[in-house]
Amino acid sequence: MNERQIEIIKTLLYSVSPVHIQKIQGKFDVSERTIKYDLSIIRKEFKKYNLNMLNKKDVGYYISPEEKPFIIKKYSLYDDFEDQQYSDFEDVMMYLLLIKEPADKEQVACMLYYSNFSIKNFIKEAENILPESLSIQQIIESEFSLIGSEREIRAYYTSLLLKKLKKVRKQEITKMFLKAFPLFEEKINEKKLLRIETILKQKIKKQKIWISESAYIKLFIHLYIVQLRKNNTVHYTKKELEFYKAFQSEYILAKEVLTEIFW
């Protein structure tokens, strides 16, 4: 197989959902006919080893989570995955944020390329990395969950998301999210992000207040997390907002935005 075909395999491995042929075509800037030829070569190659590349009609191509570890091993792609950091601690935490807890260990292992043994290590590692107020707790043998007060969980995720976003060049916040979290592209709700961004800008303009870029991003992240976890929310207090706010007007702003988005 040629270099482009290997890159197509990586694209399918990195994705947590089917990838449409036009998206693959756009990534490699070649004709659809060329991509179809590449996919046929990959499918033939996989069949030699009883592996499959699946195609969901009108949705896209994908590799089953169960077969991903074998393909990574077969084509010696460990270094690529390590470089991309798709199996680090923070990505597992992001996954916990973007799904309903508790998390199934095998599902996390398949989607984030951890072995079951590594999942056990992840839970142990969490004890050293998480703030003292939070912990990873095994609910049953096959499930685990992030444990702590709702306020502390939201504050932790705010700091984690901010750390990730700081690595992305300045641009519209929604685009920053999509660029910073390619692994979770299908799970991050772009429509909700755009709604928060639009309302936040309108409120800032209406109130004629100044807000620093750092405070704006922190506020945006916090609002997004509240929305993701709204079924578990507690009252959004002034004390909680002190986690990131620079002055009183930001609290008023946040309350107005929350009221319009959630109630």
pLDDT of residue 247: 47
Q: Before 102, cis peptide (omega within 30)?
A: yes
Do 178 and 116 belong together in one domain?
no
Considering the domain architecture, whether residues 46 and 95 belong to the same structural domain is answered as no
Domain total for the chain?
Answer: 3
Q: Which of 56, 75, 94 is the last residue of a domain?
A: 75
Q: Residue 232 is which amino acid? A: N
Give the pLDDT confidence score for residue 86 in this predicted structure.
43
Which of 29, 48, 75 lies at the terminal end of a domain, its last residue? 75
pLDDT of residue 206: 75
pLDDT at 71: 85
Residues 100, 66, single domain; the answer is no
Domain that holds residue 99: 85-147
Return the number of other C-beta atoms located less than 10 Å from residue 160's C-beta: 17
CATH code for the domain in which residue 90 is found: 1.10.10.10
Q: Is residue 57 part of a domain?
A: yes
Spatial contact of 173 and 6, defined as CB atoms under 8 Å apart: no
Q: Is residue 80 part of a domain?
A: no
Domain assignment present for residue 96? The answer is yes
Domain boundary among 54, 75, 96: 75
pLDDT in tens, the chain (263 residues): 899 999 899 888 877 678 889 889 888 889 999 999 999 999 999 999 899 999 988 888 988 877 877 887 788 775 555 444 444 677 778 888 877 677 887 777 666 655 566 677 777 778 888 888 888 887 777 788 888 887 788 778 888 888 888 777 767 888 888 777 776 776 788 888 888 888 888 877 776 767 777 777 877 887 788 777 765 544 445 555 555 454 445 556 666 665 655 44
Q: What angle do CA 181, 187, 189 make, to 5 degrees?
A: 95
Let me know whether 132 and 200 are in one domain.
Answer: no
Query: Does residue 26 form part of some domain?
Result: yes
Dig out the tokens for 101 from the structure: 């807890």
DSSP for 33-102, please give it: HHHHHHHHHHHHHHHTTT---EEETTTEEE--TTTHHHHHHHTT-HHHHHHHTTTSHHHHHHHHHHSPSS
Statement to judge: residues 70 and 90 lie in one domain: no
Q: Is the pTM of this model over 0.85?
A: no
φ/ψ bin of 50: left (φ > 0), alpha (ψ from -120 to 50), beta (otherwise): left
Residues 59 and 119 in one domain: no
Q: What pLDDT was estimated at residue 183? A: 67
